[in-house]
């Protein structure tokens, strides 16, 4: 604990030290190629309060967080370290306790020349073009237990090596990217109340069966459209639950995953942008021949088709159709074992996995809409996002946000996450975790 | 001989002077040219083969600094990359502007927080460039063939540094609907200097015909004497709707730096430290 405090304090002091308002300006343009070291980052304090009975009004999370960023670049070389440090007054894991957490967020060394780029370190590699829901985004995890008004701050990476090659010395529209990670990043879930049968323990903190990750993507990037094909073989960043009879427990596993994906984006007319993202995902134990079939998520196909439309300089809307289809699907009621007690347990496991990974039926159609407003001077920003699915009933998340930037380096944001719908479905089950929130952020 | 030579020399000198005035008098030069020819000379004077600048964008108390790389393509259209240095919230944000002959420029923004590139719709390109009174289209350079031109009048150039010059006021109208939609201007009135054909002032009119912006260019200097290339280092844009004024200041301009074509690719746009 003391060590973490020391790290957080050091990060904060480093942040304050570089925020000197009379610090000299950055190097001039002709010196763009000259080596330079810069220290930047963001610090924020935020508070999240429960809004659903019976915890309404109590704090879900109070935190002070800092992301100091140290970067260095030379002509062919570059390096960056972004760390994070949190001090929590309340957190989902430890309500009403003062705790802290610190670690690497994005840290790497890069070398590039003539269209070839090699990057090694703690990597965050988000893939996909659609808005918020990205079937091809299999390389980064998210810590959903860290509440944040900015979803991107929840991302978690891991150690890896990334190469990117653009032929013709960087001039070709083709680009080939490869990522190798020793271990896949692991998401921490905002778990709804899982109905684990009485007498069993639920272990969500142990990751096993993780294997090295290999991912590759071929992109074609033209000025008015772009497309990519991707392949991934590694471990899912989302856990699934399995019953371990010998230990009388339900265990969370990050299982092996293979996926093939594609995305596309293009301008459409004068005021629209079309984005399509699709992926076939094959969890190792998801085939219909597997002993776990019916209890875990089967092989499936995820697709997002979205259109972004700008009404004018300030108002815009993004509409997306979402489809998740499992071509071999076994309903929970058909999961059986010769032992009726085990059948009960296995069905409970199947229900939990369907709840956590959102596959209540063979096909789960859904959609998302996001309206946003930006004042012309970019001082005010307001948005409302709605995400919903329709299989086996309705479930939804409504996410309003209002941000005000009184100065270039300050931003005040308030918002809410309202989960609702059928309580046996993913977003409906999270109803009790709905929050309202406020945040003050300082960029230095 | 001395007596007879003097008046002859005087007449020769007088003749040369008059000829010089007729040939080199800037007012006379511009007067003989059509509106299109004046704007072609304007484009020739302001467009560089390549350019790297350090630029400051100030709107009220808010200041943003960015580097700009611009390169003229074989078709005469520019490619521009901007990379923001400050304030911290937009640091490393990059904007790639790819002009093309169709009039529908492509604008791509790299958002470092998301580590993703977003396309900007054509219509949105008339929107504010980073919260300033300039639009993305204002930052992209206008191409002479994108407009039709008509001479309106001549009047003293409206700035202290050009007060002794008589400017040609030219009306520029978008050549097609795509350019109208992209720029958000139905027409513009341009005050062009007679000596170097550089812009001194511009009035921009919205799609409903009302005047919406005023641009003033000052601190114009000759950067390349051999090619007669000029650059305005201080450009002020006033948005008449919001009453906000933004000053675009070029702190440093380098027109000799070689820029690789790979600078203007999506791969390079997202390559930041």
Query: What span, in angstroms and rounded, lies between the C-alpha atoms of A182 and A211?
Result: 7
How far does the CA of residue A165 sit from the closest CA of chain B (Å)? 9
pTM, entire model: 0.82
Mean pLDDT of A272-297: 93
For B67, the closest of A29, A78, A310 (CB atoms) is: A29
Nearest chain B residue to A312 by CA: give it. B124
| Residue the block writes with tokens 């978008």 | B174
| Residue the block writes with tokens 């700009």 | B68
Under the phi-then-psi rule, with left for phi > 0, alpha for psi from -120 to 50, and beta for the rest, what region is B243?
A: left
Q: Which pLDDT score is estimated for B76?
A: 84
Nearest chain B residue to A176 by CA: give it. B267
Q: Which pLDDT score is estimated for B264?
A: 92
Torsion angles phi and psi, residue A357, rounded to 5: -100, 5
pLDDT beyond 50 at A19: no
Per-residue pLDDT of chain B (273 residues; tens, 9 = 90+): 444 445 555 555 555 444 444 444 444 455 689 999 999 999 999 999 999 999 999 998 889 999 999 999 888 888 999 999 989 888 999 999 888 877 678 889 999 988 889 888 877 788 888 889 999 889 888 889 999 999 999 999 998 888 889 999 999 999 988 889 888 999 999 999 999 999 999 999 999 999 999 999 999 999 999 989 999 999 999 999 889 999 999 999 999 998 988 899 888 898 876
Cβ A223–B100 below 8 Å, yes or no?
Answer: yes
Torsion of CA A46, A371, B106, B239, to 10 degrees: -80
Q: Which pLDDT score is estimated for B2?
A: 45
For B254, the closest of A29, A309, A444 (CB atoms) is: A29
Query: What span, in angstroms and rounded, lies between the C-alpha atoms of A141 and A121?
Result: 16
Cβ B257–A313 below 8 Å, yes or no?
Answer: no
Round to the nearest angstrom and report the end-to-end CA distance of chain B: 79
- B86 CB neighbours in chain A (<8 A) are 25-26, 408
For A30, the closest of B121, B127, B254 (CB atoms) is: B254
Is there a contact between A292 and A103 (Cβ–Cβ < 8 Å)?
A: no
Structure tokens at B220: 């114009």
What pLDDT, in 10s, does the model give residues A417-432?
999 999 999 999 999 8
Query: What span, in angstroms and rounded, lies between the C-alpha atoms of B205 and A327?
Result: 57
Give the helix/strand (H/E) hosting A438: strand A435-443
Cβ B123–A41 below 8 Å, yes or no?
Answer: no
- A267 CB neighbours in chain B (<8 A) are 104, 106, 119, 121-122
Nearest to A108 by CA among A40, A163, A151, A184: A163
What pLDDT, in 10s, does the model give residues A204-252?
665 555 678 999 999 998 878 999 999 999 999 988 888 887 877 888 8
Nearest chain B residue to A377 by CA: give it. B131
Cβ A30–B131 below 8 Å, yes or no?
Answer: no
Is there a contact between A308 and A131 (Cβ–Cβ < 8 Å)?
A: yes
Name residue A11's beta-bridge partners: none
Name residue B154's beta-bridge partners: B168
Q: Which is more confidently placed, B200 or A253?
A: B200
pLDDT beyond 90 at A53: no
The three-class DSSP label of residue A387 is: strand
- What would the DSSP string read from start to end of A241-267? EEEEGGGTEEEEE--EEEEEEEEEEEE
Query: What span, in angstroms and rounded, lies between the C-alpha atoms of A386 and B39?
Result: 50
Mean pLDDT of A169-176: 90
Is there a contact between A43 and A441 (Cβ–Cβ < 8 Å)?
A: yes
Query: What is the percent of chain A with per-residue pLDDT over 70, rounded to a whole number?
Result: 88
Torsion angles phi and psi, residue B267, rounded to 5: -60, -45
Cβ A444–B88 below 8 Å, yes or no?
Answer: yes
Q: Which is more confidently placed, A2 or A381?
A: A381
Is there a contact between A357 and A326 (Cβ–Cβ < 8 Å)?
A: no
- B174 CB neighbours in chain A (<8 A) are none
> Using alpha carbons only, how large is chain B's radius of gyration in Å?
21
How remote is the C-alpha of A280 from its chain's centroid?
A: 19
Is residue B74 packed enough to be buried (19+ CB in 10 Å), middle (13-18) or exposed (0-12)? Answer: exposed
Which sign does the torsion angle of CA A50, A53, A57, A58 carry? negative
Cβ A170–B260 below 8 Å, yes or no?
Answer: yes
Q: Which pLDDT score is estimated for A22?
A: 30
How remote is the C-alpha of A325 from its chain's centroid?
A: 21
Is residue A306 packed enough to be buried (19+ CB in 10 Å), middle (13-18) or exposed (0-12)? Answer: buried
* Cβ-count burial A25-59 (b if 16+ within 10 Å, e if not): ebbebbebeeeeebebbbbbbbbbbbbeeebeeeb
Query: What span, in angstroms and rounded, lies between the C-alpha atoms of A302 and A128?
Result: 12
Q: Which pLDDT score is estimated for A179?
A: 97
Q: Which pLDDT score is estimated for B105?
A: 81
Do the bridges between strand A99-113 and strand A116-123 make them parallel or antiparallel, or are there none, so unpaired? antiparallel
Query: What span, in angstroms and rounded, lies between the C-alpha atoms of A209 and B82?
Result: 45
- Report DSSP state, residue A197: P
How far does the CA of residue B177 sit from the closest CA of chain A (Å)? 10
pLDDT beyond 90 at A388: yes
Nearest to A117 by CA among B114, B270, B100, B176: B270
Is there a contact between B163 and B157 (Cβ–Cβ < 8 Å)?
A: yes
Mean pLDDT of A294-300: 93
Cβ A269–B127 below 8 Å, yes or no?
Answer: no
Distances (CA, A) of B254 to A436, B48, B69: 51, 10, 10
What pLDDT, in 10s, does the model give residues A314-348?
899 999 999 999 999 999 999 888 888 889 888 98
Give the helix/strand (H/E) hosting A440: strand A435-443
Cβ B122–A267 below 8 Å, yes or no?
Answer: yes
Peptide bond into A98 cis (omega under 30): no
Q: A108: Cβ–Cβ under 8 A, 6 or more apart, which residues?
A: A79, A80, A119, A120, A121, A122, A123
Nearest chain B residue to A406 by CA: give it. B62
Q: Which of B53, B79, B124 would you mutate first to test chain A, the one with the most A CBs within 10 A?
A: B124
Cβ A30–B252 below 8 Å, yes or no?
Answer: yes
Q: How confident is the model at residue A12 (pLDDT cuts 50, 70, 90)?
A: very low
For A73, the closest of B119, B262, B273 (CB atoms) is: B273
Query: What span, in angstroms and rounded, lies between the C-alpha atoms of B263 and B108?
Result: 13
Q: How many residues in chain B? A: 273
Nearest to A137 by CA among A299, A259, A227, A286: A259
For B116, the closest of A126, A309, A411 (CB atoms) is: A126
The number of CA neighbours under 13 Å toward the Cβ of A417 is 22
| Residue the block writes with tokens 């611009």 | B70
Name residue B66's beta-bridge partners: B55, B84
Q: Which pLDDT score is estimated for A5?
A: 44
What pLDDT, in 10s, does the model give residues A65-124?
999 999 998 888 999 999 999 999 999 888 889 999 999 999 999 999 988 999 999 999
């Amino acid at each position: 604990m003391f060590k973490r405090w020391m790290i957080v304090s050091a990060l904060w002091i480093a942040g304050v030290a570089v925020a000197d308002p009379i610090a000299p300006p950055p190097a001039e343009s002709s010196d763009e190629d000259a080596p330079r070291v810069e220290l930047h980052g963001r610090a924020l304090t935020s508070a999240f309060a429960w809004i659903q009975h019976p915890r309404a009004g109590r704090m879900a999370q109070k935190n002070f967080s800092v992301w100091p960023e140290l970067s260095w670049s030379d002509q062919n070389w570059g390096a960056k370290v972004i760390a994070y440090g949190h001090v929590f007054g309340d957190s989902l894991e430890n309500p009403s306790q003062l705790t802290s957490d610190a670690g690497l967020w994005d840290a790497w060394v890069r070398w590039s020349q003539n269209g070839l780029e090699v990057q090694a370190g703690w990597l965050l590699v988000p893939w996909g073009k659609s808005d918020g829901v990205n079937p091809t985004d299999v390389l980064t995890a998210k810590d959903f237990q860290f509440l944040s008004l900015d979803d991107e701050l929840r991302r978690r990476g891991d150690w890896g090596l990334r190469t990117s090659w653009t032929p013709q010395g960087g001039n070709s529209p083709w680009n080939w990217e490869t990522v190798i990670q020793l271990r896949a990043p692991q998401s921490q879930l905002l778990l709804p109340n899982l109905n684990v049968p009485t007498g069993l323990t639920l272990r969500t903190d142990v990751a096993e069966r993780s294997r090295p990750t290999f991912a590759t993507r071929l992109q074609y990037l033209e000025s008015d459209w772009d497309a990519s094909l991707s392949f991934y073989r590694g471990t899912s960043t989302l856990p699934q639950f399995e019953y371990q009879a010998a230990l009388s427990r339900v265990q969370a596993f990050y299982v092996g995953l293979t996926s093939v994906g594609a995305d596309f984006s293009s301008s459409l007319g004068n005021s629209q942008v079309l984005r399509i993202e699709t992926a076939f995902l094959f969890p190792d134990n998801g085939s219909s021949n597997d002993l776990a079939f019916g209890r875990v998520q089967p092989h499936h196909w995820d697709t997002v088709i979205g259109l972004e439309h700008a009404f004018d300089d300030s108002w815009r809307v993004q509409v997306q159709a979402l489809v998740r289809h499992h071509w071999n699907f076994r309903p929970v009621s058909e999961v059986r074992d010769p032992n009726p007690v085990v059948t009960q347990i296995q069905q409970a496991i199947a229900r939990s996995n369907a709840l956590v990974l959102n596959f209540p039926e063979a096909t789960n159609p859904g959609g998302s809409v996001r309206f946003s407003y930006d004042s012309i001077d970019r001082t005010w920003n307001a948005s409302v996002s709605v995400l919903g699915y329709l299989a086996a009933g309705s479930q939804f998340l409504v996410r309003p946000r209002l941000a005000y930037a009184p100065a270039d380096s300050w931003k005040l944001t308030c918002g809410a996450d309202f989960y609702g719908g059928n309580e046996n479905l993913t977003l409906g089950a999270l109803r009790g975790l709905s929050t309202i929130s406020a945040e003050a952020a300082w960029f230095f | 001989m001395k007596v007879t030579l003097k008046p002859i020399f005087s007449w020769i000198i007088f003749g040369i002077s008059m000829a010089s005035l007729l040939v080199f008098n800037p007012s006379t030069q511009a007067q003989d040219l059509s509106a299109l020819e004046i704007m072609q000379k304007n484009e020739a004077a302001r467009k560089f083969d390549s350019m790297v600048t350090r630029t400051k964008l100030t709107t009220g108390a808010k200041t943003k600094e960015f580097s700009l790389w611009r390169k003229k393509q074989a078709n005469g259209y520019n490619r521009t990359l901007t990379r923001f240095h400050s304030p911290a919230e937009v640091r490393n944000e990059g904007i790639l502007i790819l002009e093309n002959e169709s009039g529908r420029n492509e604008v791509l923004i790299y958002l470092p927080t998301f580590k993703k590139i977003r396309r900007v719709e054509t219509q949105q390109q008339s929107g504010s460039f980073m919260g300033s009174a300039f639009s993305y289209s204002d930052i992209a350079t206008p191409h002479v063939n994108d407009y039709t031109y008509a001479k309106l009048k001549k009047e003293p150039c409206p700035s202290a540094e050009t007060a002794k010059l008589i400017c040609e006021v030219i009306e520029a109208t978008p050549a097609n609907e795509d350019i109208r939609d992209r720029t958000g201007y139905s027409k513009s009135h341009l005050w062009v200097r007679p000596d170097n054909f550089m812009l001194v002032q511009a009035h921009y009119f919205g799609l409903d015909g009302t005047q919406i912006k005023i641009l003033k260019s000052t601190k114009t200097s000759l950067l390349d004497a051999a090619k007669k290339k000029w650059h305005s280092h201080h450009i002020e844009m006033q948005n008449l709707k919001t009453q906000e004024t933004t000053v675009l200041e070029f702190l440093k301009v380098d027109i000799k730096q070689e820029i690789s074509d790979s600078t203007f690719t999506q791969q390079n746009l997202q390559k930041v430290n």
